[in-house]
Chain A
Amino acid sequence: MIKFLLPLFVLTSCAYVHHTQVGEIKYNPNYERIPFEVLVSETGFDLQEAGAIGKAVIQDKKAGSNLKMITDIVGLFQMGPRTGAPVWSGDTYADKVYGLMYEKCPSGQITGLTSIREMNKYPVVSGEIVKITGYCLKQKTNPVRKKI
């Protein structure tokens, strides 16, 4: 039974949304909106799930229980509100979005930002993703003049 279920379990992946935020969308007739998207991700590791799989796979009952105990103890240090699975690099991976946005829009005139915190979940590991979409404002070659 496990031989049948394990590949099925390993092959499945799902996308989860944790947070969505839409920012203000500015309008200026002299500028056109060029859409852009930046995405940063880090690998998350679900220790509890790893422990559960380990316990199911390991034949020795005592070794399985020890593994469960270890994961429970480590779990005690991963407390507090959170989204997704813990990552090893701390929270620094999300800091890259500023640089990436500047690369996509060197003028810095950005509007309509949508920030999405999502997770691509696989067994044991996960892709912890921060995605930002928005518009880079670019001046039109023929600006609209106001009638006086």
Chain B
Amino acid sequence: MKLVVLVSLLIFSVSCAHVRSVSQTSVPKKRGQVVKAEVKNNIFFLFNFNTNYLNELTTQLQDQCQKGSIEGILTKDVMVTYFPIIFHREHITAEGYCVE
């Protein structure tokens, strides 16, 4: 019984992150201010019904660089498992340079 409790605790207290995708656009020679956008999506019991939250990335970047181009964007898509099956979190970040 103790072993079962111990193994259960071990399984449920482990969190793992895995990178699903990474992409990088050309980095500009003249690098300005760093701008960063991120969206998080909590997933309970593997149920996720839409991906519209991803559309916020470009809006967030533009808000931080209203009079310039954003170049050298590194996009990282990470999935973190906090409790297997029960709770996951998607964490997508986009980071680039504002070139005015």
Contact = CB atoms under 8 A, between A and B. Distances in A.
Contact of B73 (A22, A118, A131): A22
A14 B54 contact: no
B12 interface: no
Contacts of B26: 24
Interface in B1-56: 20-21, 23, 25-26, 37, 46-51, 54-55
Interface in A19-76: 19-27, 29
Nearest to A117: B21
Classify chain A: how many residues form its interface, as a range: 20 to 34
Contact of B70 (A24, A118, A131): A24
A20 B46 contact: no
B51 A116 contact: yes
A114 B52 CA distance: 12
13 contacts: A14-B49, A15-B51, A17-B92, A19-B21, A20-B21, A21-B23, A22-B61, A24-B70, A25-B73, A112-B58, A114-B54, A116-B51, A135-B58
Given A20-B57, A20-B75, A27-B70, 19 more contacts: A13-B49, A15-B50, A16-B48, A17-B92, A18-B21, A20-B21, A20-B23, A20-B77, A22-B23, A22-B58, A22-B73, A22-B75, A23-B73, A24-B26, A25-B61, A25-B73, A114-B58, A116-B54, A118-B51
Interface of A: 12-27, 29, 112, 114, 116, 118, 131, 133, 135
Interface of B: 20-21, 23, 25-26, 37, 46-51, 54-55, 57-58, 61-62, 65, 67-71, 73, 75, 77, 90, 92, 94, 96
